[in-house]
Structure 1
Amino acid sequence: MRMVYVTPDGGRHWVDSEWRNTMTLRDAIADSRPGDLIRLLPGNYFLPEAIDLPRDGTPAEPIIIRGEHGAIIDGRRPPDPEVSATSPGPLRYAAFRMINRCHIRLDNIRIERSWPSAVYMENSHHLIFKDMEIEGGTYAFYADGPSCHHISVVRCDWVQDDSLWRYINWAMVHDGELVPGEKAPYRYLNGAFFGSNNIKGDIVIRANNIRHCYNAIRLDMSDEYADAPLGDFNCNVVITQNRFSFVRDNPVEPETVAVNWWVTYNQLYNCHKWFSQDGVKGGFWYYFGNLGWFDSRPGPEGDENNGGAVFKFGKDPDALPSLPFETFHNSFYLRQQYVKNGTTSQWRHRRNAIGYADSAHLPPGLMTPGQPFLGEDLELSSQENVSFDGDLCNHPTFPSVFDNYPGVYLGGLPVNGPIFRAGICGDLALLPGKAVPYDQPLAVQMPDGTVWHSENGLMPGALDGNGMFTGPRYRPVDMDYLQQCQQTDD
């Protein structure tokens, strides 16, 4: 391994107990080669132009760029109003651009004022980003192109705009909401912590702190690949152990297609519509071990987009999951509807703990009195393999609301009063006496054709006692099994 020392001025500095020659960041990157450890020493690094990675690492010798405490990359770029919910493209600014690159790792780097994105990747693979702090940007990370795969984002921190949750009207971010066909004044905030377009998959987003943003994770696909076989795009995505806070729109939002998504052990604190599946085909979706709660309601006075939901479904009957969609052993403390409208299929909803707050015990305006559990425009059908079974819920209409959906409700645990120890504080341990252990293990179909079984005697929700529910371990989709499932469905 070659150690390369970097300072803002590229001069001679006292480092590691002796005087050493250093390089500027741009020169160090231009001279980089496999096996380099490029160390950014403390200082403010102003990048008037993007840093383009000129060459690849190797599996055995990746190129590592690592910042030390006090090393700050400052793009000094204002928001770019031309980028909103779309790919920034290779010509726009990013602190780091990786085009047709592989085996590169960025560690412990702070990036500020880098609009529209801090890191832009195109047709690149085997990239790792760890312990990074990013402030601002339409996107923290953006990936584009069918050759993008095997990307890991771990223990990173992103704040997009801390005025977004409370002081900016939702419609002022989303084009066409204020005036049909017109662009929104804050459209440049309609991005995500991790955004993508037309990528293959094998993405890991783990243990990140993502807050005060419009969206957190959004993987899109363009119309040119609409007829691609399932599994070619947005496949094998792991979203686990993250904390999503003050997310104004969607923490998790696949677009068009998603295959083998594992959304597990995340914390969702003050988020709007948590899991969006509007117009998404595919399946093998696993939501388990997640904790969600609130103590705040979004938007300034007069903002009508402040209700939210846990699941957001679409209305297109041709854009629904055709493979298993599993939701089990989650714990949610809610002020909003569970699902407002739309429809889905293949949804097995089992053994979750769903506790609704009492609006009479909350500050005025924090929760709509008489909040429904399910919206009037929601369509659920047992013929589409939708079922609710074994859920613990204290909503006053549970389970009578399922009278509108014959065959969907298979049984559950309706209770009165609070079910969590201190829901508004995020303590979602079950109160004693609210439930008893299940007398049968849970069976869940896996994406490789096997069936996972839970331990016996578990309690509802994500917490068993004070410990986390232990769900199945991630496994990639078996492509032969995927094809077999599609042939069976056909």
Structure 2
Amino acid sequence: MIRGNGAVIDGGEPYDDYREIANRLAAVQEANGRFPGIYYLADNAGLVLRNCQWVVIEDLTFEGCWPTAIYLDNCQHITLRRLHIRGSTIAIGAAGPYTRHLLIEECDWIQDLRSHGEADLAAIRKIGAVDAGLDPGDCGLWREISWDQVHGNIEDTESRVDVETDERGFDGDFFRAWTIAGYVVLRNNVILDAFNGIHFFNDASDSTVEDFCRNIVIENNWFVRIRDNAIEAEDYAWNWTVRGNRFVDCYMPFFAGDAPIRLFLHLRQSRLESASTWPRWRRPQFRPAFQVSQTARSRRPALCLQQFMDAERADQQAQPYPPVPPSKQRDRLLRRSGPVDAEGFCTFWCELAERPEAGPGRKFTRRQIFHQALARTRHTLRW
């Protein structure tokens, strides 16, 4: 166990000093035909754990650790608790195909220190709400910095890195994972004034892609003023539970990338909020709460499974889609039915959501929903 009890790991570099360095490094990547980011430097961290097991780290403060505060490489059974991270492109990075069983809880991260994140953090921890009386005008990531300055590139925005004006040092996440095994729990964390929140990549080959980014739980976290995506899954993810989170003034609470994704979610009791002090004409323009890119939607419309997987009886009254069976009945039917085609189920569920009646004067029963979806089986769905 590593317990800080107020100890500070100081990177010794404020963001103003690191900004131009990050921009120059991103420009080099762009000149070499790569995406203009500094992600490849993620292992340049204030604290690195490599090939470690059964380690608990708690009550540490990280300040000015650019680009990364904590980096985990091929680690198992790691607990990060009550860590306070200020600055950093990436607060916590995880890599390695054998990285699994991570618990990250009660941590807080403020990336852009020029806003009033500290006051909001204190209010969240004390009364469970942001301070609506604070002026939103000092939120630099929203007010002074454009999205292109942080994440723009030639392909998407037709813009090149500007070493003098860009802000590439903010192009990071609270938790970023590169093709890890999974089994990660992130709970009771507070993320404020940052570009991204939780971000998983899965670059494994087609034959092994299902072995990574599996079994993720994201619950009871606060995402406040996230400039891009609060939660993002890239390429392929499996069996995620996202519940009890609060999103305050976030551009995109959840986003799934362009590649085919099998993403199965429990989306329960999460709240989308906006601070009351944002005047309507100055309020950030938010995208839809949950979105799959058009490419991913045409290949595998997996997000619709959120309504099916969220099968707890207490939540059924709030569901906009037709009622689904309780979990015991669902599991019993699935055991009887054998392989399930996720794509067929999603397609059917989309159609059912738009046309809930099976015929004049009656609706689909729960059993009919199952049997119609199961009739489209072509692939094996693992539970």
TM bin (shorter chain)? 0.5 to 0.7
Q: Does 1:203 align with 2:184?
A: yes
In the other structure, the counterpart of 2:158 is 180
In the other structure, the counterpart of 2:230 is 251
- Amino acid of the structure 2 residue aligned with 1:320: R
In the other structure, the counterpart of 1:408 is 353
In the other structure, the counterpart of 1:487 is 380
Q: How many residues align?
A: 293
Q: Which has the greater radius of gyration?
A: 1
2-side partners of 1:230 and 1:207: how far apart?
A: 29
Using the TM superposition, give the Cα deviation of residue 121 of structure 1 relative to its aligned residue in structure 2, in angstroms: 1.2
Using the TM superposition, give the Cα deviation of residue 295 of structure 1 relative to its aligned residue in structure 2, in angstroms: 2.8
In the other structure, the counterpart of 1:272 is 251
In the other structure, the counterpart of 2:60 is 109
Name the CA shift for 1:316/1:100 in 2 (closer, same or farther; >3 Å). same
Give the secondary-structure state (helix, strand or coil) at the position aligned to 1:228.
coil
Counterparts of residues 393-472 of structure 1 (less than 5 Å)? 407-410=352-355
Q: Does 1:165 align with 2:58?
A: no
Name the CA shift for 1:316/1:350 in 2 (closer, same or farther; >3 Å). farther
- Amino acid of the structure 1 residue aligned with 2:144: Y
Q: TM-score, normalised by structure 1?
A: 0.53
1-side partners of 2:254 and 2:277: how far apart?
A: 17
CA contact (8 A) 1:100 1:122 kept: yes
Q: Does 1:72 align with 2:30?
A: no
2-side partners of 1:384 and 1:105: how far apart?
A: 44
* Identical columns (%): 25
In the other structure, the counterpart of 1:216 is 197
In the other structure, the counterpart of 2:334 is none
Higher RCO by CA contacts (8 Å cutoff, separation 6 or greater): 2
Match for 1:140 among 80, 91, 103? Answer: 91
CA contact (8 A) 2:243 2:269 kept: yes
Q: Does 1:191 align with 2:172?
A: yes
Q: How far does the alpha carbon of each residue in 1:17-72 deviate from its partner, in whole angstroms, 9 at most, with x for none? A: xxxxxxxxxxxxxxxxxxxxxxxxxxxxxxxxxxxxxxxxxxxxxxx111113x22
1-side partners of 2:150 and 2:157: how far apart?
A: 12
1-side partners of 2:92 and 2:50: how far apart?
A: 13
CA contact (8 A) 2:148 2:159 kept: no
Using the TM superposition, give the Cα deviation of residue 410 of structure 1 relative to its aligned residue in structure 2, in angstroms: 4.8
In the other structure, the counterpart of 1:234 is 213
CA contact (8 A) 2:54 2:78 kept: yes
In the other structure, the counterpart of 1:131 is 82
Greater strand share, 1 or 2? 1
Give the secondary-structure state (helix, strand or coil) at the position aligned to 2:210.
coil
Counterparts of residues 261-410 of structure 1 (less than 5 Å)? 261-279=240-258, 280-295=260-275, 306-316=285-295, 319-321=299-301, 325-327=305-307, 351-352=317-318, 384-387=347-350, 407-410=352-355
1-side partners of 2:303 and 2:148: how far apart?
A: 34
Using the TM superposition, give the Cα deviation of residue 488 of structure 1 relative to its aligned residue in structure 2, in angstroms: 7.0
Which ranges in structure 1 are unaligned for 5 or more consecutive residues?
1-63, 331-348, 355-380, 388-405, 413-439, 446-483
CA contact (8 A) 1:155 1:209 kept: yes
1-side partners of 2:238 and 2:380: how far apart?
A: 16
Using the TM superposition, give the Cα deviation of residue 277 of structure 1 relative to its aligned residue in structure 2, in angstroms: 1.6
CA contact (8 A) 2:264 2:309 kept: no
Using the TM superposition, give the Cα deviation of residue 243 of structure 1 relative to its aligned residue in structure 2, in angstroms: 0.8
CA contact (8 A) 1:114 1:137 kept: yes
Q: More displaced, 170-179 or 119-128?
A: 170-179
2-side partners of 1:172 and 1:241: how far apart?
A: 31
Using the TM superposition, give the Cα deviation of residue 321 of structure 1 relative to its aligned residue in structure 2, in angstroms: 4.9
2-side partners of 1:125 and 1:488: how far apart?
A: 26
Q: TM-score, normalised by structure 2?
A: 0.66
CA contact (8 A) 1:154 1:206 kept: yes
Moved beyond 6 Å, runs of 4+ = 296-299
Using the TM superposition, give the Cα deviation of residue 233 of structure 1 relative to its aligned residue in structure 2, in angstroms: 0.9
2-side partners of 1:66 and 1:325: how far apart?
A: 41
1-side partners of 2:303 and 2:37: how far apart?
A: 27
CA contact (8 A) 1:124 1:148 kept: yes
2-side partners of 1:167 and 1:181: how far apart?
A: 18
- Amino acid of the structure 1 residue aligned with 2:268: F
Q: How far does the alpha carbon of each residue in 1:234-278 deviate from its partner, in whole angstroms, 9 at most, with x for none? A: 101000010111111111101001101000011111111111023
1-side partners of 2:45 and 2:63: how far apart?
A: 11
Greater helix share, 1 or 2? 2
- Amino acid of the structure 2 residue aligned with 1:386: W
CA contact (8 A) 2:234 2:256 kept: yes
Using the TM superposition, give the Cα deviation of residue 409 of structure 1 relative to its aligned residue in structure 2, in angstroms: 2.5
2-side partners of 1:302 and 1:270: how far apart?
A: 12
2-side partners of 1:160 and 1:201: how far apart?
A: 25
2-side partners of 1:383 and 1:209: how far apart?
A: 33
